[in-house]
Amino acid sequence: MKLVAVLGSSREGSKSKAVAQRIIDSAKAKGAQVEIYEIDKMNLKGCVGCGSCRKNGTDCVLNDDMKDYFKSLHSCDSLLITAPNYYSMPAGQMITFMNRHYCLTNADRTQRLRPGIRLAAVFAQGAPQDYPKYVPHYDWYLSTFTGKGMELVGSITVGGDSDISENGEIMTKAEEIGCALGSI
Ligand SMILES: Cc1cc2nc3c(=O)[nH]c(=O)nc-3n(C[C@H](O)[C@H](O)[C@H](O)COP(=O)(O)O)c2cc1C
């Protein structure tokens, strides 16, 4: 049972990372092996639209750290993604990351990824947790992943007003999501 976690913020005091850590710990307690990718430590190029993936039915040909990530993704059971909200959207580095998943759909629209990979997400924003304006943005972001056959098991939005203490509502949900991601 393998969980791949892609952390969109490694900022000192990052809230999305703190919640992701609880999900990771919970998945590990269920026996999951975890591979972590910190986006700000990755050599990450933007999709250049060369079309090579669609022409040849391969993963992206760009030579950067996404090569390792795609290997992890093809062999994982669960994927956790986190993103800070910058200017109303998941931050640019995480949109660059998301764009690179283009290579996982073939020219005939079939998917190259094994179906049923469990997906979870954590978004962090300065606005209050129940601020409605960003909900469609997060849904749009996740639709790229569910569109490739992943199954969303849970998503957490951490607001500027959220309680992320150990036994609070957010961390309790994180614990549950980690259990779901880490279970056989
Ligand atoms: C460049 C920048 C732009 C931001 N824009 C927004 C925004 O439009 N809406 C919002 O609610 N919060 C915004 N924030 C606040 C972050 O989303 C917030 O600090 C969040 O906790 C960041 O995630 P992290 O704690 O995981 O790093 C912005 C922060 C930065 C640095």
CATH no. for residue 67? Answer: 3.40.50.360
Closest approach atom of ligand 1 to CA 158 = 21
How many residues are given for the chain?
184
Nearest of 129, 60, 154, 157 to residue 99 by alpha carbon: 60
Q: Is the CB of 170 under 6 A from ligand 1?
A: no
Question: Which is it for the CA torsion 138, 144, 145, 147, positive or negative?
Answer: positive
Is 125 touching ligand 1 by the criterion CB < 6 Å? yes
Q: What range does the domain containing 111 cover?
A: 2-182
Number of structural domains (the chain) is 1
Give me ligand 1 centre to Cα 86, in Å: 5
Please list the pLDDT of the chain residue by residue as tens digits (184 residues).
999 999 999 899 999 999 999 999 999 999 999 999 999 999 999 999 999 999 999 999 999 999 999 999 999 999 999 999 999 999 999 999 999 999 999 999 999 999 999 999 999 999 999 999 999 999 999 999 999 999 999 999 999 999 999 999 999 999 999 999 998 8
Candidates 133, 131, 120, 121; CA nearest to 159 is 131
**Which phi and psi (to 5°) does residue 92 adopt?**
-50, -40
Nearest residue (CA) to ligand 1, atom 3: 86
Q: 86 CB less than 6 Å from ligand 1?
A: yes
CA of 55 relative to ligand 1 center, distance in Å: 38
Strand partners, 156: 122
DSSP code of residue 12: T
